Every structure is written in C-alpha cells, then in structure tokens.
C-alpha cells in the first residue's frame, strides 16, 4: 500500500500507537503527516495486518507484538524517544468490551480489560508526550465504570496534564458513512501551548443540518460502497457461507432495509421475547450504515445483509464503511479480519482529529 505523501515546514510530530489493532489510528496519523515511531498490539492477526499494510510498505514504525502489560514504558521511552526524538502524541484505544453498552446490568464492571486505560496512562507518564488522545465506547461514561475514569483523571492531574471533558463524537458528522459514536479523551501537558479549536467543527454538519441540506449527508457515498467494483483478487472480497435455509431468509427480506420480522426468521428464543429487530436486516445505502462491530460480517449480529444480494456484507464492504482504502488488506481470515475492522478507529475521523491536534501543536 502506498504511504501518504505530506509536505510541511515543520518536522513531523512523533507518536506512539498503543493497542494499535490493524492500524486504523496509525494510518490516520500517517495521513495527517505524523511519524508513527512505535505501535503496540498483541493480537497475532492484527499484527500481521499492521505489518503487511504499514511496515512492509514504508512506515518506519517499530511494532511490538506483545501484551502491553509485559512491555516496559520506561524501556520504550529510552529506546525510541530520547534526545531530540521526544514523543509528541500518544494514541490508542484500550479494549472496550468491558465498557460496551451491550453489556446488561452490571456486566463488564469487573472485566480485567477495563484497567487497561490505567495502563495506557502509565505509558503517558513515562513518555511525557505533549498531548495524548484516547478513544473508547460511550459505555465507559456509565456510572458503573466511574472508578476507572476517576483514577484516570486523578493520574492526569498528578502528573501535569489537563484532560478535557470526555468528548462524544458521531462519525457521521465527519463524513464517515455509518452511525458510530465514540468517546475521545484529549490530554494536554500543562507546559505545552495548544492553540486550536477543540473539538474540530464537524465537516458534514449535524443531523438537523443534514436534513436541510442533503448534500452534507455522508451516506451519499454509502451507495458507492456497494456499487464500486471490487477486484476479483482482493483477499477481503469474501463473506460468510450461508446455508440454503439462511439464503431463503435473505430472499424474504425486503431490499434496502427490512429486519428479522420481514425475513420470517424465528428462533426458539423469539417465542419468549421479540429479540433484536435489526438482526438479519439489509443495509439501506440511502441511509447511514449501522455501526461496524467486531461481528460486522455476521447477519445474525445486526443489520449486516447486503442491500440487494442474498448474503452478508463482505470484509471489503465493512472496511469501506470504516473509510479504509481498498488496498488495505486485513489478514487472518473472515472472523479475525471482521474483528479488526470493527475495532478500528475510522480512518477519516482519526485523520481529521489528528490534523487538528498537529496544527494546534505546530502553531
């Protein structure tokens, strides 16, 4: 994959991408003109994807394919960010499953992955970046997880960082053709001058302005996700293999919409409750797409059926919803690649945020 070209009168800002996954945040950083010196990720398939798309094709990143709990923050600081090569920005989205809004009642409260946001800050403390940007799901703001956020903000104050109030952004407002809300935490070191508007103004308005001016609607490009040809040699041009019974279900689902009710898909559990109405539904390309989750290629997990064909969406369709370029290839097979896509920060959204941060520091 060709690396983005960027010209600037400034030396590129150095950053590290923690919990890097397949590299969505790293690709956004490169597009924004940053130098991604280090990435940390323990998932084998995600590391294969990162190497294939970012390191193999020209990025100077050092990828640590290990558990972040076993990696020394001080060692990373000494090895990669000493002298003039200081760390300017720390990026990362710690695993969010424990904070997911889909966890019912108090599920997820004791999930050990929740504590990884505190591990994230241990790297901030060791690297002393000018700013850090952490991404997570809105569920992290729920009161049942307040103890983690309280410690996170306390750590920031103790170590000389001002952490902005949690910022919930809808990716649709920034040109991403799907309904996707995520929380971003921006921390700025107290001795750093940060001169920019934060958060950046939406590039595609809000829900109300889009209704008044349909040209702003980012899902106008959603139709292209399905009409734009996909190369027959694209490794990600594949979808789940469905049984004849499931194909009949999809044939019963109305085009450009529909749900389990129209598909006449009834499972034993549905005799006791109505179930999720969006499952087995088709994507309507004239509306914003559904949130690409880690199960985005499985029609039983959401509205992930092709608008007109009788199968689930392909990995390439899902990647396009996340604004990855078609030359970005996900490794590891169907399920592993789907998880990588669903976990990623939409490239276009990440790029807008990081350009804003870079401008604020370089001014």
Catalytic residues: 96
With residues binned 3-state (H G I as helix, E B as strand, rest as coil), the percentages for the chain, rounded to 5, are 40, 10, 45
> Measuring CA to CA, which residue among 324, 344, 338 is closest to residue 238?
338
Using alpha carbons only, what angle is made at residue 257 by residues 343 and 180, rounded to the nearest 5 degrees?
A: 25
C-beta separation of 118 from 147 below 8 A = no
> Measuring CA to CA, which residue among 34, 18, 23, 35 is closest to residue 122?
18
Q: Where are the alpha helices (DSSP H) in the chain?
A: 24-31, 44-50, 73-80, 116-127, 146-158, 207-212, 222-227, 244-252, 260-263, 315-321, 334-343, 347-362
* CA 354/CA 360 separation, integer angstroms: 10
* CA 116/CA 108 separation, integer angstroms: 13
Residue 166 gets which letter from DSSP? P
Using alpha carbons only, what angle is made at residue 40 by residues 34 and 43, rounded to the nearest 5 degrees?
A: 130
* CA 282/CA 308 separation, integer angstroms: 8
């Amino acid at each position: 994959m060709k690396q983005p070209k960027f010209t600037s009168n400034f030396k590129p800002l150095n950053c590290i991408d923690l919990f890097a996954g397949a590299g969505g945040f790293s690709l956004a950083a490169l597009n924004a003109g940053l130098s991604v010196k280090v990435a940390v990720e323990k998932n084998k398939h995600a590391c294969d994807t990162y190497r294939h798309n970012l390191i193999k094709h020209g990025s100077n990143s050092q990828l640590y394919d290990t558990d972040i709990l076993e990696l020394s923050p001080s060692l990373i600081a000494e090895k990669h960010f000493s002298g003039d090569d200081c760390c300017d920005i720390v990026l990362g989205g710690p695993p969010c499953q424990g904070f997911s809004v889909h966890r019912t009642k108090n599920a997820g409260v004791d999930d050990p992955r929740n504590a990884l946001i505190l591990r994230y800050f241990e790297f901030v403390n060791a690297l002393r970046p000018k700013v850090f940007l952490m991404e997570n799901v809105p569920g992290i703001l729920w009161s049942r997880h307040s103890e983690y956020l309280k410690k996170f903000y306390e750590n920031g104050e103790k170590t000389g960082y001002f952490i902005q109030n949690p910022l919930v952004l809808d990716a649709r407002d920034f040109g991403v053709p799907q309904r996707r809300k995520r929380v971003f935490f921006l921390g700025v070191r107290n001795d750093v001058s940060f001169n920019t508007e934060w958060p950046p103004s939406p590039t595609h308005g809000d829900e109300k302005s889009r209704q008044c001016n349909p040209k702003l609607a980012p899902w106008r490009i959603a139709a292209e996700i399905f009409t734009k040809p996909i190369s027959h040699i694209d490794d990600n041009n594949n979808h789940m293999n469905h049984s004849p019974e499931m194909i009949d279900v999809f044939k019963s689902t109305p085009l450009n919409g529909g749900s389990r009710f129209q598909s006449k898909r009834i499972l034993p559990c549905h005799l006791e409750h109505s179930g999720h109405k969006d499952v087995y539904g088709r994507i309507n390309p004239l509306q914003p797409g559904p949130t690409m989750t880690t199960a985005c290629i499985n029609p039983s997990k959401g509205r992930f059926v092709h608008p007109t064909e009788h199968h689930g969406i392909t990995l390439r369709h899902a990647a396009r919803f996340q604004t990855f370029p078609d030359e970005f290839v996900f490794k590891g097979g169907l399920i592993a690649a789907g998880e990588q896509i669903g976990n990623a920060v939409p490239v276009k959204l990440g790029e807008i945020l990081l350009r804003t941060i870079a401008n604020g520091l370089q001014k």
